[in-house]
Structure 1
Amino acid sequence: MRLHCEISTRVGHHLFESAYSYSTFCLQPDVPENCHVIFAQPGPYPPGTVAKYNCALGFERIGVEERACQSNGTWSETAPICALDVAQNKPAEQSSGQQSAQNAVQSIPNCALTDHSKSSWWTVSLLGQFNVRAISITLGHLSSEIVDIRLETANKNSTSCAKYIGDLKNSTTVFCSADSVSHVVVHATSRLHLCSFKVYAINAQSPWQCALPSMDVLTVNMNHCYSSSRTEKLDWKSAQKRCLDLGGTLPIRISPEAQSALRASLTAAQTTQSFYWVGLMGTNSRGWVWADGDPLNPNESDWYEEPGETKEDEAMAVVLGRPAGWRWMPAAQSVWNPWICQTKPKFCTSPGVSANGRVVFSSQSYAIGTYAFYSCESGFELYGETRRRCEKDGLILFLVVDCGMPDQWMDGTVVLVNRTTTFGSLTEYRCRRGTVIEPNRSPFRTCGADSMWAGDIPSCLEVDCGPPPPIANGVLHFTNTTLNSSVTYSCDENYRLIGHSRSFCSENGNWLPNPPVCYDMLTLKEINDHSSDSNLVLSLVVVVLLVVLLLVALKASHHRFGGNNPMVPGFNSWLRRNVACHDNGGKSPAGSSDGPRPLVYATPSQPMDSMIYYAPTGLSMVESSCVSMTQFEVPPSMVSVQRLPNGMVSVRLPTVHP
């Protein structure tokens, strides 16, 4: 991802644009990779200033050469791109016709031509993966209409350029882009007459980056430069020494792509030489080995004919031979031949800079190891990495901060939270079962800007929940406090237990579930019958409880007079109604002038897995001699019980609807 500068949110778009519209200057224009801009004067640039774009040596400019500063503070046109033709001299194929496919990618006047058919295709292998930004195509007069140009990647994904093609005339540049492209395919409706085809990529290396003025660069493939001697010839060992002096070697471990690129380049170069040394030698004891001692993988060989066994007194090596179509041939090491050196690029090209940006370099030569430091003009903010580095492959890349994988942790496992190890990534330390992170220590560490994991590595301690919490009016029994230990609670005589009778020591170091509460029936009844100022808080809780139950009872009474089944559908065993009638002499209960005083009763069910609550229903409002009681059976998990500081018990019930 390329960095860019945007208007700072601290300045504000409307304020900046207002100032910008009244300005009479332009800021830094966009400069693409492999390109630089020449100005007649330093910035800021007044209207009329011309920015002239030049590409690095070997790169072609696709687009305008000049852009002008306009009166509104913007630059005219669109910035060009600077790219290399990565299809030149690469292997090509076509659907039919004579073997002419290669003509379209070579510097010869002939064209590639297919036979007449319902459809035709032509393809070129780029022998690598490139970020393509444009395609130049020249058709002959015999060609039918181009249907599509597809950019294909190594994993078989493809990008169609059909919408960019239009009505192709003789020579046309198509601005179609895709990354990691390895093949390009052209499809035509009938006959295809293709005279020139160029694929422009921005991440390729130019021959000048190889910095070997005394040699001819044949090709740059897979980040290696392959250069041949001009007229000088040497024996194999002397040729290897000459390459070592240049910081390289005779070609070793040549990939199939590099072998194909060398054959195509030597064929296109039309050299007068017939043989070139490469870095493979024969031994009597170990067979064929590379110049650095690694044995040859038979699956990676490129022999024209399989060689015989090397004799004990022979010193053999390998040449690329014209008679063999530039494939491998064995030869005595004492023979004098030209040679090919395999080296790494020595320089990078310009990394470019976004509009309204600035860049300074640690070295003006763009040598390997050079840093580019980015910033923005005043009023803009930088989005992206602030540093890039010229790598040893000759490509200048964003400097990625990577902390690497954390060290192995004996106390448990380390998890990459973001699944990355780059700047800002998180790691989480997870203890083995039965242990927990020591107190006051964080289980997380962060990848810092110094490529180090910030924070200390935590330690794990055995899980110990400590003594379980006691309960009032009850006792507890336990033998251990470590993981999975249990504690059993029981209540004193005449007290009932609400909640769970057992708790367990959990992995997080807490006793779960929470301890129960012990209470007795008489106390709960007294709370209803003898309210006083000293129990005001508890009384308020009971009043709220009574209101809720009264509403439920009224609703239950309504259903009862309507002839409904006393067992309400869908309420299962949680709700039952009972009617209790008694003779009170026509008098209301004591303390009440309006009718029966509502009472709440709570008893444990059998077995002890729920509580049963009783409350009067609306029937008691009509017949004073009968009290209709509604029974609620509620699981303990739905009951909230809290012991108050004054020793009383606060009970909160769920709202139920009969």
Structure 2
Amino acid sequence: AAVLGLFLAAALVVAVQSTCDIPPHLPSAELKEQYQHRTTFPYNSTVEYVCRPGYVRNVKAQNVLVCGRNSRWHGSKEFCIPKLCTYPGEPANGRLVLAEKFSFGSAAHFTCNTGYRLVGNSEIQCVIKNGVVTWNRDIPICEPIPCSPPPEIANGKHSGADKELFEYGASVTYWCHTVRWGERPFSLVGDASIFCTTTDNINGVWNKPAPECKVVKCEHPNVENGKLLSGYRAEYTYQDTVMFDCNFRYAMNGSDASTCKEDGLWDPPLPLCQLSSCDDPPDVPNAVKAKLAGNLFPVETVVTYECRQGHQFSPGETTRHIKCLPDFTWTETPHPCERIRCPNPDISNGKPLNVWEDKDYYVYGDRLEVTCNDGYAFKGHSNSIVLQCTSDGRWDPAVPECIPEPRCPKPDTAHGREIYKSKNDYIVGTRLTLACDSGYVLRGRDSTECQADASWAPPLPFCDKVCGPPPQITNGQHSGLGREQFPYGAEVTYSCVEGLSLIGDASVYCTSDDGVNLAWSGPAPECRVVRCPKPAVERGRMTPQRFTFPYGADVRFSCEEGFVLHGDAESRCLADGAWHPPLPTCQPVRCPRPSRQENLVTYSFKSQYKVNETLSFSCKRDGRQSANSQTTCSANGTWIPPPTCKKSDTCEKILRNREDFQCGVPLTELKTLLEVQKLYLEIQKLEKEL
């Protein structure tokens, strides 16, 4: 009871304290008349609002507020929303800066396109007039931004002289007056065209000052040690541009292009061409410049000379260096490379072969032919040797030694003889020429010379037996015509004059039956007229097709369809003018009478049948004869289809006998039929077991 009393007391205190002050003042709504003069409102009381002019009820929210426990008013205050003005439109050459809505109290702002300015206020507001929501003024207009007339220039004019109005974007072009012949022309200094623009979007201004018409002359652009690449003229005036390049081995200091300006000066200033390389390094006889990287030689460039093979600047020195100095001169000009010397050859018991080759000294490239005195010879060499002075100052080959002269053995060639000898004895250098006796031929070289090592070079030849000329034939010839001797193994081939055939072996060989004596391998062939008759085979064909049939001609035969070849298919024309083997014949194809077969019945009365003839036959089945069939004799001598009879199996025979067991058969007959079938099956079983 005490707790309940405390709870009620607390509730009473809250109820007494929960009162609300005057409801809030809203810009979009006002209290109804009955609530406007009250200052306090008890807990849970409500007040109702009505929309002010320019606003309309929001159906999504109630237009009441409720006094809550915390002495605050509760409820949505968005029960009145602004009314909307109509779309105001856009000015020509301008645009509306859009807001989200054209609601009461909002403003619309306007701006003009580039080149136009606003006439009127740039802002209008959505207000109430005469109880209606509308715009407070008309929208502004956009008019072109004007420029004042372009400035006039002395000694020139512009393209807008006949116009009075110049609006934003308009342009004019200036040009200078022409002058009389002989007077200097005017140059248009500045941009030829200017255009109307604006900096504040209100007033128009020209984008740059007007150009000037002036007489401008620049001096002729001369660059020492340089040349003009482009822009050459007799006189140079404003805006003329020239390009330069420096002469070979000069470097440019400055810009390679310059333009004539209004003050008559070149800009950038004309460049300087300054020396940047030494001249070509001097040529040195018998030397080459090694590893040149180009034809420019700046300061500190080093050039290396290398003496050619077999040359030197001084003993042991084959290379020399020079350098480009700061004054663009070379440190020195090397003296020529001289040939390397070889020592004077001192040959004991020898001398130069030719007097004119004897010198006080010898240098690289000199040639000296030396020989030994009489009675002496070079060991291992011929009677003279050619020495060459090489690039390293030595003789090649090394200077030889002369020793007492050796002799070669006297040639002993069986069936041969000497026909020339250059010296009385067989000393080094003696040259011989050898020949064979009649009936023999020389194998090897016929000339030889005695060498320093007492040997003959080339080696001595030997004499070998030969065959005489092969026999001649009438109306023919052989390939050895004009030769008198033929060595062992030689072959000659015979041929006949046109129109004759070669009868016999076409080639004969020089051979030996006993290994000693030589003779031809066989008799010579003959040349005769051989023509075989045209081979005609009735009902046959010949391949290849030809019209002449000389000795050795081969032909092949085949028969037409329906005929068969009797004899050999190939034949050859022989020396007697006859074909061998004899020509075949083509006989008609015949089919034999079919052979006897079990259960086959033929209705045949002949032993042979022609192609396309037919034959009737039938097959016996369990003692009964089937319907007649036919077969035909084909072109290859076989029957189509083959006249054969297939043996029936046991199951087929049983099924065939099923037709005997029909409805209505008396029992006595049926019993007899079953016994017969049983007997038949037992016989079949016995046959299979056997």
TM-score (norm 2): 0.22
Q: Give the number of the structure whose alpha-carbon radius of gyration is greater.
A: 2
TM-score (norm 1): 0.23
More helix by share: 1
